[in-house]
Amino acid sequence: MSEQTPADNKNVDDIDVNKATANDNAANESTPNKNNPELKKHTFEAEVAQLLHLVTHSLYSNSDIFVRELVSNASDACDKLRFEATNDDSLYENDGELRIRIAVDENAKTITFTDNGIGMNEADAIENLGTIAKSGTKAFLDKLSESQKQDGQLIGQFGVGFYSGFIVADTISVESRKAGEAADTGVRWVSDGTGSFTVEPINKAERGTAITLHLKEEYSEGEDSYLDRNKIKRLVNKYSDHISLPIQMRKEVWQEDVVDDENDDAPAGGEMVLTDEWETINKASALWTRSASEIEDDEYVDFYKNITYDMDAPLTWTHNRVEGRVQYTQLLYIPKKAPVDLYTREQQHGLKLYVKRVFIMDEAEQLLPMYLRFVKGVIDSADLPLNVSRELLQESRDVKSIRDGNARRILTLLSSLANSEDSDKQEKFAQFYAEFGDVIKEGLGEDMGNQERIAKLLRYATSTQDGLETSFEDYKGRIKEGQKAIYYLTADNLAAAKNSPQLELFKKKGIEVILMTSRVDEWAMNFLTQFDETPLQNIAKGAIDLGDLQDEAEKAEAEKAQETLKPVVDKLKAALGDRAKDVKVSTRLVDSPACLVVGEGELSPQMIQMLKQMGQDVPESKPTLEVNPDHPLIKKLESSEQFDDLAQVIFDQALLADGGQLDDPAAYLKRVNELLMR
């Protein structure tokens, strides 16, 4: 099933291509061949050998990339012709159906990429193929006037893609004729990718360029063979499926063996054979380039499943064309379910990046902040600062602009769901928050520019509301008169939070407290100190100042208790030693004998425990023990003969109630058992 290629009428191996060194003469100097005066040998520009070695061994992470590059170059050539023909329609030469064709020849071990684009003459071939990092496109754009540049925005600006062919080929031959020029002005360019190349004139009836790769042995046999037509189709579908031009290969059909009428027992069989008919193997239409009003929801869902391999439909999506200094199209999806590796921050994530509908990167993580790593979709830009291999984005103002634009768009989409009166949208937001709410909280510390937007999306249970339904705005709407802060408490789970001793005073006074039960909450709240100009206060840290909510009688009673209980406080300090930073009389306790309090800016027991589990070094942090002067146990403590044991038990119980872990559980049990027996 071999296909003839344009270069088959000449044996490339017979061409005299000297392996010149990198320090030979410049590319514009040539040497005629004695056997064929029309065949001229040129040396690449200085240091080309080193550059070609870099291209074939370092710039590209996998050999498949040459398909993307050569198809992209062919598309560029067609775009150039289309642009030039706006002023000179004759350049189409009565062939206005632009296309790219790929032909595989198993016998010759070649693969050929053909386009009917702008083409090249001899001077163009020497200039554009004899110089690294110059395909002619950038020079073409430089010739455009400022008023024309907007019209030429589809024209590519990549230069070294052609040389990626040397990853898989030991020789590349190019046959081309420039649009509008005579057939005898065609040119054949041949090189083995070392130090030199040859050019010679040819007669070429068809306009455009045919690039033939003579594959290396390791790429023409076995699993790595590029002579497999189905493999080429898969690579086109992966990298170039949405190029607007048709990419074609010859159609295959099944042909049965002719049956021998005289021998009915002869086995029937057949084989796949190539026809003269060409079939388009890419979609040739990018979904995201169409107007959103023209696209059905089912099309959006099918496209999402195609690019993510997710069996479920997406939760929601947003499709926009962004205009401004940086112009790009974004099609962003929020999945319905979180992936199993969502909290593995080292796991690859990101958006599919296209440039002019040409696939560039599968997971362009630079286009999304880390806390939005669950978002899937496509970004298509006419121009981005890529490195020479297109595989890594360079950080720049344009990249930052796209990343910030994507973040704002996603947060706006989520806000529209959260604040909608539509029950379906409210349900979608609830689904989103259940799956990705904790990840969004990471943005409080990672994206200060959008901190307020993120804070408005957060939902919590409270001391009066069990479900994750209360926002900071909801809480402020229910705030008590005279209340100067938004009060919150962090705990391991909702039950622990609702039964925390820290809540007792607030329950007594009917003050609602936000209950934060995610492991990320305490870390995140280090970055959010206020909401809508109202301070946020962790009721388990520092002294509690209820301001106008605490009357003068309560303050006087607290001061009196400090004096009355001073002997007990001093004995507790001595008994606990270095376990507690200090011992104080509490104003926040109602029913419990004691609680632990850490200072503002210090780590809570839960945070210390989490950091230790992560294997991190934790700075020394000791809590303050606060005791309830009205509790019977504290009142009887001074006269107890087991004062030291009771002091340790009271401290350990306060630590357990606060979600901490005992350093010596056995010692705690021993003390409790002894006290019970007495």
Q: Are strands 186-191 and 169-177 parallel, antiparallel or unpaired?
A: antiparallel
- According to the 3-state scheme, what is the secondary structure of 155-222? CCCCCCHHHHHHHCEEEEEEEEECCCCCHHHEEEEEECCCCEEEEEEECCCCCEEEEEEEECHHHCCH
DSSP 341: T
**Is 359 a known ligand-binding residue?**
no
Establish whether 134 is an annotated binding residue.
yes
Measure the CA–CA gap between 172 and 216, rounded to whole angstroms.
11
Torsion of CA 306, 312, 313, 317, to 10 degrees: -80
Contact 596, 658 (CB under 8 A): yes
**Is residue 520 marked as binding?**
no
Q: Which residues pair with 118 in a beta bridge?
A: none
What does DSSP assign to residue 343?
T
115 has binding-site annotation: yes
φ/ψ (deg, to 5) at 427? -65, -40
DSSP track, 225-247? -S--HHHHHHHHHHHSTT-SS-E
Residue 390 labelled as part of a binding site: yes
Is 73 a known ligand-binding residue? yes
166 annotated to bind ligand: no
Query: What's the rounded Cα separation, in Å, for the pair 245 and 116?
Result: 11
What's the rounded Cα separation, in Å, for the pair 520 and 536? 16
534 is in an annotated binding site: no
Using the Cα atoms of residue 603, residue 605, residue 609 and residue 610 in order, give the sign of their dihedral.
Answer: negative
Taking alpha carbons only, the member of 540, 542, 624 closest to residue 581 is 624
157 is in an annotated binding site: yes
The total number of residues shown for the chain amounts to 678
> Is 161 flagged in the annotation as binding?
yes
User: Residues 351, 378: contact at Cβ < 8 Å?
Assistant: yes
432 is in an annotated binding site: no
For the annotated binding site, the residues are 69, 73, 115, 120, 128, 134-136, 157-162, 209, 390
For the annotated binding site for ATP, the residues are 69, 73, 115, 120, 128, 134-136, 157-162, 209, 390
